[in-house]
Amino acid sequence: MEPLGSQSWKRLAALAHTLVPETASLSAQQSDRFRHIIRQALMERPAAVALQLRLFLALVDLAAAWRYGTRFARLSDPKRQRLLAWFQDGPVPLFRKGFWGLKTLVFMGYYGQDELWPRFNYQPVMNGNDVLHERKGL
């Protein structure tokens, strides 16, 4: 079962382009991988989590329309950033929590693609504990 509908994916893409601008230049294959990573994460959680995500994405869109008179995806980048800053740092704890959940999914979808790691010079050490023990002489 698909955790997000097409409208929610569009909203999430617009949000992702603001949080991680590089997502706007992903290839079709990389965009599919971005969605796959997020889809898998949501499918491993109760259906209520996906529902909350869809509702929060709709809330961000409504907040954009209320504050700026248009949908989030149509806003200029500075207006998107101001709106998201309000959700991130604003007075409503539930909104802050929702924002951080969305941000986590976007980061997971982008930074979780190992083929993109060279773009941002990420070189993980897969045997980190072994390396630590070698350095400590254990």
Give the pLDDT confidence of 45-88 residue by residue, as tens digits. 999 999 999 999 999 999 999 999 999 999 999 999 999 999 99
- Reported as a single tens digit per residue, the pLDDT across 81-103 is 999 999 999 999 999 999 999 99
Residue 49 within a domain: yes
**C-alpha 127: how far from its chain's center?**
27
Residue 93 within a domain: yes
Residue 20 within a domain: yes
Q: Report whether 109 contacts 35 (CB < 8 A).
A: yes
Residue 66 within a domain: yes
Per the structure, the count of domains in the chain is 1
- Could you tell me the pTM of the whole model? 0.85
Exposed / middle / buried, residue 132 (Cβ in 10 Å: 0-12, 13-18, 19+): exposed
Residue 118 within a domain: yes
**C-alpha 53: how far from its chain's center?**
11
Residue 80 within a domain: yes
Residue 1 within a domain: no
Residue 23 within a domain: yes
Range of the domain at 120: 6-136
What amino acid occupies position 79? K
